[in-house]
Amino acid sequence: MTLRPGAGSDGNPPPSHLPPYDRSEKTADMVKADFLTGLVLILLSLFVVFESWRMPRLEHLKVHPLSVPGLVPAFLGIVIFVLAVILVVRSVLAGGHRLGLSNEVLRRLRVEPGNRRLLVTAVLTIGYAGFLVGSIPYWLATGLFVFAFIVIFERRRGMTRREYVRLGLVAAILGAATSAVVTWAFQSMFLVTLP
């Protein structure tokens, strides 16, 4: 059966080989990522097993010893621990423990346009939903967020003053419209007390 496994949201046809690692540069990064993920998962699973062990056995309630609250989390912690160890061992065998982090690699990651767009998106979205909403009126926070998002991502070097004004106008209209429609819909139609 010719499956195209793991076709993700990027839609690119995935590679047809089945073993987890090949020799491409992208895979080399994945091997390193797996090594780090495996370590994090080992720590997480140990924490879960430890916490499950600490959970009460409820002997004073005379409950059945196999119905204690920590049983299933401990079971899951052990399974994740085993899977994470396999992930780390597999990654180490493929050289994933040699992370090769240098200033040059970090600089390249920092200046890569996709990563910069991601960082700006994360700052704007988390800043809006996590901090702005609830601190200032909802309609104002939403309008400002949409306005800032559009202006920041659509402005280009060398834009004329006229183009700047046009961009600001479009962003302001879209920000105001989004804010007005969403505020009205949730407040008046769905009777939500806005944050």
Partner 1 sequence: MAAILANLNQFISAIAGFLTPLALFHVSWSTLLGIIIGALPGLTATMGVALVTTLTYKLPPDLAILILICVYNGAIYGGSRSAILLNIPGTPANAATTLDGFPLARAGRAGKAMGIATSGSVLGSLIGMFFLATVAPLLGNYALKFQSFEFFWLAIFGIVISGHLTALEDPMKGWIAGFLGLLVAMVGQEGIHAYERFTYGTTDLLGGFALIPAMVGAFGFAEVMSVMRSPAPEVVQEARDSIIPKLGEVFRYWRTIIRSGLIGTIIGIIPGVGEDIAAWVSYAAARRKSPERDRFGKGSVEGLMAAETGNNACVPGAIIPALTLAIPGSAPAAVLLAAMFIHGVRPGPMVMVESPEFVYQVVAMVFFSTLGMLIYGLTLTKPLLWVLAVPRTRLMPVVFVLCAIGSYAITQRTFDIWVMIGFGIFGYILREMKYPMAPMVLGIIMGDILDKNLRRGLILTDGDLTPFFTRPISLVLWLVTVSSILLSIEPVRRGAQRAAQALRPWRPRAGTETR
Residues between 15 and 44 that touch partner 1 (CB under 8 A): 15-20, 30, 33-34, 37, 41
Closest approach of partner 1 to the CB of residue 18, in Å: 7
Q: Within the chain, where are the H helices?
A: 25-54, 71-93, 103-111, 113-126, 138-154, 161-184
Candidates 60-68, 99-107, 158-166; binding stretch for partner 1 (CB under 8 A): 60-68
User: How many residues sit close enough to partner 1 to count as binding (CB under 8 A)?
Assistant: 82
3-state secondary structure of 94: coil
Helix 71-93, helix 25-54: angle, nearest 10: 150
Residue 125: both structure tokens together: 């979205």
Asked if 150 is part of the footprint of partner 1 (rule: CB under 8 A), the reply reads yes
What is the C-alpha to C-alpha distance for residues 179 and 146, in angstroms, rounded to an integer? Answer: 8
Q: In the range 154-183, which residues lie near partner 1 by CB under 8 A?
A: 154, 174, 178, 182
Q: Which of 45, 42, 19 is nearest to 30 (CA)?
A: 19
Q: Which is nearer to partner 1, 137 or 186 (CB)?
A: 186
Instruction: Considering only the stretches 71-79, 93-101, 103-111, 158-166, report the one whose residues sit in contact with partner 1 under the rule CB under 8 A.
Output: 71-79
* Dihedral sign for Cα atoms in the order 80, 86, 91, 92: positive
Least separation, in Å, of the C-beta of 44 and partner 1? 8
CA distance 193 to 195: 7
Q: Least Å distance between CB 8 and partner 1?
A: 6
Instruction: Give, as ranges, the residues between 85 and 144 that touch partner 1 (CB under 8 A).
Output: 86-87, 114-115, 117-118, 120-122, 124-126, 128-130, 133-134, 138, 142
* Identity of the residue, 13 or 100, whose beta carbon is nearer to partner 1 in the bound complex: 13
Stretch near partner 1 under the rule CB under 8 A, chosen from 68-76, 94-102, 103-111, 158-166: 68-76
- Between CA 148 and CA 174 the distance in angstroms is 11
Which one of 23, 60, 64, 162 is in contact with partner 1 (CB under 8 A)? 64
Distance CA 52, CA 128 (A): 36
